[in-house]
Structure 1
Amino acid sequence: MIRVTARIALDESEITEDFLRASGPGGQNVNKLETAVQLRFAAMASVNLPDAVKARLATLAGRRMTKDGVLVITAQRHRTRERNREDALERLLVLIREAATPPPPPRKATKPTLGSKKRRLESKTRRGETKRMRGAPGRDE
């Protein structure tokens, strides 16, 4: 079991890894070794994630989530397979932790105070007076 939060732990059998050739520079090494990791996690089928976390995870994942509810993370930043595996797993855990945090409470709408209304109107009056003074002389209204 992989511990994500105090309440959420993932079963290692839910995560599958595929190795593929990384793109970009790397010399001859990049052409013959499969160091990039494509990590797949069936998030919507997971019994270890609450429904609310699944919904937020789908929103956070965006294009990384397939139509079947499988989260796909590709890691190819590092030159070695092991570091890419660690990177992909860490990115998955960060994403799930972010989805596990509850959303902030909705903002309650409040009315502006009387003082703030007066300050706003006074500043509008001052600004209008400044602009009126910029007009041609002798044109008082």
Structure 2
Amino acid sequence: MARMIRVTRHIALDESEIAESFIRASGPGGQNVNKLSTAVQLRFDARQSPSLPEEVRARLERLAGKRLTREGVIVITAQRHRTRERNREDALERLLALIRQAAERQAVRHPTRPTQASRRRRLEGKRRRSGVKNLRRDQIDRD
């Protein structure tokens, strides 16, 4: 029986929806980097996942950016740490953070109009400023 991974109160992923493969990490690391495959590549098929509501799926695909393949699979590569286990945890946490961010509802901004009093104050300020600038002009310019 597959374990469920809790993402939010309403979303839980089946562990079988996430595929992991281990690859060799790039960069410095001495002889260890040439012998062991410690980096993890995590794959999650967002389009086919039955765990995600439609609106979360759409936001997730937008947020994933270059990590999303044409087929709708999110690929996360983790190689910060020296051990497989730490890299697995890191990749999974990054995936869950991405899904949590997609699950947040964005506040819709309703445009408002300025009040009549604020419009009056704005125009009065403009008139006052115009008068000050007018007084600074030379007498010749005013004619």
**Same fold? TM cut 0.5:** yes
Shift of 1:2: 0.7
Q: Give the structure 2 partner of residue 115 of structure 1.
A: 117
Paired residues, number: 140
Deviates more, 1:107-116 or 1:3-12: 107-116
Which runs of no fewer than 5 residues in structure 2 stay unpaired?
none
Shift of 1:128: 2.6
Shift of 1:134: 4.0
The CA RMSD over aligned residues, in Å, is: 1.7
**TM-score, structure 1 as length reference:** 0.89
Which runs of no fewer than 5 residues in structure 1 stay unpaired?
none
Match of 1:17 among 15, 20, 37: 20
Cα distance in structure 1, aligned partners of 2:21 and 2:61: 22
Name the aligned partner's letter for residue 135 of structure 1: R
Q: Give the structure 1 partner of residue 84 of structure 2.
A: 81
Q: Give the structure 1 partner of residue 54 of structure 2.
A: 51
Shift of 1:20: 1.2
Q: Give the structure 2 partner of residue 42 of structure 1.
A: 45
Cα distance in structure 2, aligned partners of 1:130 and 1:63: 55
Name the aligned partner's letter for residue 142 of structure 2: D
